[in-house]
A = this chain, B = another copy of it.
Amino acid sequence: MAEEKLPTRSEDFAEWYNQIVLKAEMADYAPVRGCMVVRPYGWTLWENIQAALDRRFKETGHVNAAFPLFIPMSFLEKEKEHVEGFSPELAVVTIGGGEKLEEPLIVRPTSETIIGYMYSKWIQSYRDLPVLINQWGNVVRWELRTKLFLRTLEFYWQEGHTAHATEEEAREETLRMLGVYADFAIHEAAVPVIQGVKSQTEKFAGAVMSTTIEAMMGDTRALQSGTSHYLGQNFARAFDIQFLDRNNTLQHCYTTSWGLSTRFIGAIIMTHGDDQGLILPPRLAPIQVVIVPIFKAEAETAAVLETVARIQSELKAAGIRVKVDDRTEVTPGFKYNDWEMRGVPLRMEVGPKDIEKQSVALARRDIPGREGKSFVPQTGLAATVTDMLADIQKSLLDRATAFRDSHIHQPKDYAELIEVVSNGWAYAWWCESAECEARIKEETKASSRCIPLDQDEGHGRCIVCGKDAKRKGYFAKAY
């Protein structure tokens, strides 16, 4: 219900976000600090995200499985960087069945260790490779500052874990899955992400190389939206994941891991939303079309509802996710605001005049007011709606891409970098040293987001220290 006025995005982006998540009934605060409840509207969006990703995982040869929630503390300690990275964030079970446990169990923050342990049992020979397994589930990281979807103690995600015979294959897999994430983000969520490599400082604890898709939110801050890691032989050595190769020699596997979480819902909200509320990309929207029946006189009701029911079943049959808002206790105007706030891509109005003219009114969520409204014939309506949804999807991607590109700057010197990261991203030559990265962060709060995979050849001078730099990197304030 949209009784209170939302703050505008320019007034207070953070508060706009919080309120829209609550009002649109995407999520709610749980009674446990830092945890969230994902409400049906938000969870259906997540189910659609899951389906779009899962299809891509299966097309690339992966299968799903389920590994335990609990991990013995000693497992984490087997990979030095891994335990250092995660130990401040752990939830620890010390009591089970009324008794103190001999070895405390941690609630998984990620599953490289326990999956590594199982892979060492399952993998014997090169014939068993590659192992390409994904898991959908929940993980827990004891965060201090939390924000619905973006950073919560418990969150939902998928984590892929693969094992390969060669470094080359494992590196290929890492980039393949990064590509899958980018393809999903761009073509399903209309979020124009940039693919790149994380700096050594920002990489996953235990990885040789981390890659990321980075998205620009409506306030120009960056959001890391999915990551894919090449783990080298680090976990294979820690957990003895070994195989006999074709020459009967024992070798350690090369492994990867990659994950995308409910955080991505935050990316969708903050990429597309406007001052009226959410705007959901049609391909993922739980409801693609909402039909609002209009009648003043009792006498008109039956005819309108009959037409609405017919249209509803036509659209359903065409695979369109449609909802009829037949509430009687609120006005059509209230309904318009309510569904706009919830980001339904297309609203259809059907009243007595429309029945007379054999037409309906369609209002696009992405184009407010009259400009986004059109009257179309009832004949061929499913095709008209399908086309319009595709057009909305495209227009959201175009708009987000244009916004992103207009807020990426190539500063000529460090002074300009400081200026541009106050309201955008800087793309600049960087020597890739941790010192220069730290200086930028300290002085501007912008972190290194990624070194993009696609970039021009050549080299230049580091924007901070002036030393020779082979690649350019993105720097931005981030969530």
Binding site for B on A (CB under 8 A): 28, 30-32, 35-40, 42-44, 46-47, 63-72, 75, 87-98, 104-105, 107, 114, 117-118, 121-122, 127, 133, 137-138, 140, 142, 144, 153-154, 156, 329
Contacts beyond the supplied A32-B72, A37-B68, A70-B140: 8 A-B pairs with Cβ under 8 Å: A31-B72, A31-B75, A32-B71, A36-B68, A42-B65, A43-B65, A46-B66, A91-B97
A322 to chain B, nearest CB (A): 14
- Neighbouring B residues of A87 by C-beta, 8 Å: 98
Contact of A88 among B31, B42, B98, B137 (CB under 8 A): B98
Complex contact B95–A32 (CB within 8 A): no
Copy number in this complex? 2
Q: How far is the CA of A46 from the CA of B66 in the complex (A)?
A: 10
* A96, B105: Cβ atoms closer than 8 Å: no
Interchain CA distance A42-B122 in the complex, whole Å:
15
Q: Are B70 and A114 in contact (CB under 8 A)?
A: no
CA A118 – CA B39 in complex, angstroms? 10
**Chain B residues near A35 (CB, 8 Å)?**
68-70
Task: Tell me which residues across on chain B come within 8 A of A42, comparing CB atoms.
Answer: 65
22 contacts between A and B (CB under 8 A): A30-B114, A31-B117, A32-B70, A35-B70, A37-B68, A38-B65, A40-B64, A43-B66, A66-B138, A66-B156, A69-B107, A91-B93, A91-B96, A91-B97, A92-B93, A92-B94, A95-B104, A97-B144, A98-B142, A107-B107, A137-B138, A138-B138
Among A46, A91, A98, A114, chain B packs the most CB atoms within 10 A around the CB of A91
Report the minimal beta-carbon distance from A26 to chain B, rounded to whole angstroms.
Answer: 11
Instruction: List the B residue with the shortest CB-CB distance to A141.
Output: B97
What's the Cα separation between A36 and B89 when bound, in Å? 25
Query: Are B66 and A97 neighbours in the complex by a CB distance under 8 Å?
Result: no
Q: Which B residue's beta carbon lies closest to that of A139? A: B69
